């Protein structure tokens, strides 16, 4: 009879090979949304080209004397409406000719960059701050606060942007760069408000926001440490694209005679003066228009590149 009390011995377990050490240099580091976006931007030719153009424009506006030594306000009627072909006959070093008052068109292009860039950058900063704060408050608190602020935003949204800016500028007898900045920023914050409000409504449902509330974090800390950094991506995209629009808006207001005026040097002022003399001296209108178009194009290209980098659906 077989021995039923005999038990089988367990089979020997196979030895487990130790895990290979991971080289930290070869391990791929986890990247955040901003790090991933920056890596994508560096490979985007639109971003590179637009960044170079904007850098040149910023340098011109900050240091115009590096690009010309000619006084843009000093004129000589001897050079009345002289264009480049006429100047070439007499061996003049002037690049782009003279306007009706004998002032250098090239020098006015260089010094006119400052007004356009200052207006665009300052308006963008102001509307981004105002729109972001109001949109963040409305989206986070909701309820009555959201209803009141949304209706106020709707009222401003219903006013046409350029028409409202014209009405605001009519209230000032003397129009300077800061007057134009105020008029454009007065109605320009509504789009940023809507974008930020929608982003905050989405972000405030995230688990890390609920965890911060459970740990006793105050409202300012939740808003500025947890919600704002994660809701800024669409705002940055809209603000970057809007920069080019504000350059165009300033030129439009100056062209209509409601924005900047002499003695302030601006592309819009020169375009307005050149339009009246388009059959006599078309170069006065042509060159400022080219500079304005290049500037608007550079900011729009930058905004498109940033949008594609920050939106995973478009990447």
Q: What is the CATH number of the domain that holds 156?
A: 1.10.3720.10
Q: How many domains does the chain have?
A: 1
Helices (H) then strands (E): counts for the chain = 13, 0
Does 150 have pLDDT greater than 60?
A: yes
Query: Is residue 27 assigned to a domain?
Result: no
Q: Which residue has the higher pLDDT, 315 or 53?
A: 53
What pLDDT, on a 0 to 100 scale, did the predictor assign at position 131? 94
Q: Give 98's strand partners.
A: 104
Kind plus residue range of the DSSP H or E element containing 287: helix 283-310
Query: Is residue 294 assigned to a domain?
Result: yes
Return the closest-CA partner of residue 95 out of 287, 259, 265, 299.
287
Query: Is residue 49 assigned to a domain?
Result: yes
Distances (CA, A) of 105 to 108, 261, 269, 290: 5, 16, 12, 13
Query: Is residue 265 assigned to a domain?
Result: yes
Does 88 have pLDDT greater than 90?
A: no
This prediction's pTM:
0.81
Q: Which residue has the higher pLDDT, 303 or 82?
A: 303
Query: Is residue 268 assigned to a domain?
Result: yes
Query: Is residue 284 assigned to a domain?
Result: yes
What pLDDT, on a 0 to 100 scale, did the predictor assign at position 135? 93
Place of tokens 């207001």: 253
186-238: per-residue pLDDT in tens?
Answer: 999 999 999 999 999 999 888 888 898 888 888 889 988 889 888 888 898 89
What pLDDT, on a 0 to 100 scale, did the predictor assign at position 26? 44
Query: Is residue 63 assigned to a domain?
Result: yes
Query: Is residue 53 assigned to a domain?
Result: yes
Does 92 have pLDDT greater than 60?
A: no
Note down the domain range covering 192.
35-301
């Amino acid at each position: 009879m077989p021995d039923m009390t005999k038990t089988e011995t367990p089979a020997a377990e196979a030895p487990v090979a130790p895990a290979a050490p991971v080289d930290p240099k070869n391990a791929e580091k986890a990247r955040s949304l901003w790090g991933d976006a920056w890596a994508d931007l560096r490979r985007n030719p639109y971003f590179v080209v637009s960044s170079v153009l904007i850098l040149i424009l910023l340098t011109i506006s900050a240091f115009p004397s590096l690009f010309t030594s000619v006084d843009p306000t000093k004129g000589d009627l001897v050079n009345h409406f002289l264009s480049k072909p006429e100047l070439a006959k007499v061996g003049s070093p002037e690049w782009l000719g003279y306007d009706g008052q004998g002032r250098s068109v090239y020098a006015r292009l260089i010094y006119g960059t400052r007004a356009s860039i200052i207006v665009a950058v300052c308006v963008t900063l102001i509307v981004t701050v105002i729109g972001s704060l109001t949109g963040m408050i409305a989206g986070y608190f909701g309820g009555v606060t959201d209803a009141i602020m949304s209706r106020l935003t709707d009222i401003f949204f219903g006013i046409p942007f350029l028409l409202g800016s014209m009405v605001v500028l009519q209230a000032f007898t003397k129009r300077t760069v800061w007057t134009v900045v105020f008029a454009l920023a007065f109605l320009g914050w509504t789009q940023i408000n809507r974008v930020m409000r929608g982003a905050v409504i989405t972000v405030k449902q995230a688990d890390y926001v609920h965890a911060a509330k459970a740990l006793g974090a105050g409202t300012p800390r939740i808003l500025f440490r947890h919600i704002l950094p994660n809701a800024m991506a669409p705002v940055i995209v809209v603000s970057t694209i809007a920069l080019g629009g504000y350059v165009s808006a300033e030129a439009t207001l100056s062209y209509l005679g409601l924005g900047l005026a002499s003695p302030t040097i601006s592309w819009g002022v020169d375009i307005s003066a050149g339009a009246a003399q388009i059959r006599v001296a078309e170069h006065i209108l042509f060159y400022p228009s080219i500079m304005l178009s290049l500037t608007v194009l550079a900011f729009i290209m930058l905004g498109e590149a940033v949008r594609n980098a920050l939106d995973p659906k478009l990447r």
